[in-house]
Amino acid sequence: MNNYKLIIQYDGTDFCGWQIQRNEPSIQGEISNAIETILREKINLIGAGRTDAGVHALGQTANFKSEVELDFYRFKHQLNSILPKSISITEIANVEEKFNSRSSAKKRIYFYLITNIKSPFYFRYSHFQNIKYNVDKLNLISKKIIGTYDFSAFTKNVAEVENTICTVKNAWWKETKNFYIFMIEGNRFLHGMVRSITGTILNIHNSSGNENEMSEILGSKERKNSGESLPAKGLFLYKIKY
Which residues participate in catalysis according to the annotation? 52
Q: Is residue 25 within 8 Å of 33, Cβ to Cβ?
A: no
Distance separating alpha carbons of residues 185 and 171, to the nearest angstrom: 6
Contacts of 127 (CB under 8 A, 6+ apart): 112, 113, 114, 115, 230, 231, 233, 234
Q: Is residue 205 within 8 Å of 141, Cβ to Cβ?
A: yes
Distance separating alpha carbons of residues 13 and 53, to the nearest angstrom: 7
Distance separating alpha carbons of residues 67 and 44, to the nearest angstrom: 13
**Residue at 130: amino acid letter:** N
Distance separating alpha carbons of residues 141 and 2, to the nearest angstrom: 46
Strand ranges (E), 84-234: 87-95, 107-115, 127-128, 147-150, 165-175, 179-186
In sequence order, which ranges of the chain are alpha helices (DSSP H)?
Answer: 27-39, 72-82, 135-142, 193-206, 212-220
